[in-house]
Amino acid sequence: MPQAADAAAIIWKLWQSGEVTEALPDQMRPATRAEGYAIQAHLEKYSAKPRYGWKIAATSKAGQQHIGVDGPIAGRLLAERIHPPGATVSIKGNRMLVAEPEFAFSFARDMAPRPTPYTQAEVMDSVADLHLALELPDSRFADFAAVGGMSLIADNACARDFVIGPAVTAPWRGLDLSKHPVHARVGSRYERDGVGSNVLGDPRIALTWLVNEVTGLGITIGKGEIVPTGICMIPLAIQSGDHVHADYGPLGTIDMTVAA
């Protein structure tokens, strides 16, 4: 896609300024997933650090409805937008204004492109650790629910900020993550429950989808890269000053504060 770099430059400028656009110019607008990912790939050059990992958007029905797509899409995690547990994160310029509890995985080895898809067993055998995560997504499009999946791929799958915890120390490999409950609390305003099955039926299924989506583009997912697999509940509406706490039971907790 000849205009991919120019389209990425527009998206990056909007990301940094907190401004939005109705759509990319006609000649730059992606018509296919491949064209969307071609634009997204150019965003990496604006990061001063190596790619931190990958994200999946729209792995739940609620997530798909939120951004107006009918299936998952992949995006890149830029290291500058990763925060430690307990961090205070600014939502200045963020219009989605939601937090999303997620299961995340890091890899013990490279996942390289190959002719045949990876199986779930192969993917999980390559996982080093489970992590807990909170995403604060956003879009550079004024009406992100109407702009379409191809443009949202170009928009880095609505990536903005992630709070990602250390490796979970509790034994987790024997757990059925599809049935694992997650309880979230947003300050004293409200609470909400979720479950792993909201993530494409199982976070491990979502991770396998991501591996095959990315390696299918001819890209290697590197050892140590982290992949949050998507929200496991209805997105949590947030506002300035909120404290967001997600409890994964025996797997631990993760929290963050929205900057005032």
Residue 247: what pLDDT? 98
Residue 59: what pLDDT? 81
> Whole-model pTM above 0.85?
yes
Pairing of strands 73-77, 53-57: antiparallel
DSSP string, 160-190: -EEEEEEE--S--TTS-GGG-EEEEEETTTE
Report the pLDDT averaged over residues 190-219. Answer: 97
Predicted confidence (pLDDT) per residue in 132-162, tens digit: 999 999 999 999 888 999 999 999 999 999 9
Q: How confident is the model at residue 168 (pLDDT cuts 50, 70, 90)?
A: very high
Report the pLDDT averaged over residues 193-217. Answer: 97
Residues 6+ away with beta carbon under 8 Å from 137: 57, 96, 98, 100, 158, 159, 160
Predicted confidence (pLDDT) per residue in 27-81, tens digit: 999 999 999 999 999 999 999 999 999 999 988 777 777 777 778 999 999 999 9
Residue 145: what pLDDT? 87
Pairing of strands 82-83, 161-167: parallel
Q: How far apart are CA 120 and CA 77, in angstroms?
A: 22
Residue 9: what pLDDT? 97
Q: How confident is the model at residue 235 (pLDDT cuts 50, 70, 90)?
A: very high
In this model, does residue 175 exceed pLDDT 80?
yes
Residue 19: what pLDDT? 94
* Residue 117 DSSP one-character state: P
Of 245, 255, 249, nearest in space to 87 by CA: 255
- Average pLDDT over all residues of the chain: 95
Residue 58: what pLDDT? 82
DSSP string, 86-105: T-EE--TT-SS-EEEEEEEE
Of 204, 196, 207, nearest in space to 246 by CA: 196
Residues 6+ away with beta carbon under 8 Å from 170: 250, 251, 252
Residue 197: what pLDDT? 97
Q: How confident is the model at residue 205 (pLDDT cuts 50, 70, 90)?
A: very high
Predicted confidence (pLDDT) per residue in 10-20, tens digit: 999 999 999 99
Residues 6+ away with beta carbon under 8 Å from 144: 67, 68, 96, 152, 155, 158
* Residue 123 DSSP one-character state: H
Q: How far apart are CA 195 and CA 200, in angstroms?
A: 11
Residue 204: what pLDDT? 98
In this model, does residue 225 exceed pLDDT 80?
yes
